[in-house]
Amino acid sequence: MQVTQDVKKEILKFVEKKIDTDEMWAEAFSKLITLDEPDQNGAVWDMLESIKDSIRWDESFARSPELLEKMGNQALKDYKEGRTISLEEFLALTADDESVPGQQ
């Protein structure tokens, strides 16, 4: 799906450049207004769902700081021992993987 590839490119761009949040919102809205109404509605729905998910994650992590610390330590250990891959490698590996959400 072309939208998914475009989204991946945008994510990489923002991660690499660490663009400030105001700039990201400005760019997102400038692109959003170029879409027809059904696509705008879908994009806004997706953003709202993403925000709700983010809030749920924040609430979950707030309830389990010890677990989060343990997971963070394990991730750092995996990174130091070379058992991780870059975001670019992950996206390349999952580009055609139908088991990954959003890859259909």
Q: Which tens digit of pLDDT belongs to each residue from 6-19? A: 666 666 666 666 66
Contact 89, 98 (CB under 8 A): no
The structure's pTM equals 0.42
Q: If phi over 0 gives left and psi between -120 and 50 gives alpha, with beta otherwise, what is residue 103?
A: alpha
Q: Which tens digit of pLDDT belongs to each residue from 85-103? A: 998 888 888 887 666 555 5
Amino acid making up residue 55: I
For residue 43, give the nearest of 52, 53, 33 by alpha carbon.
33
Residue with tokens 């997706």: 46
Q: DSSP character for 5?
A: H
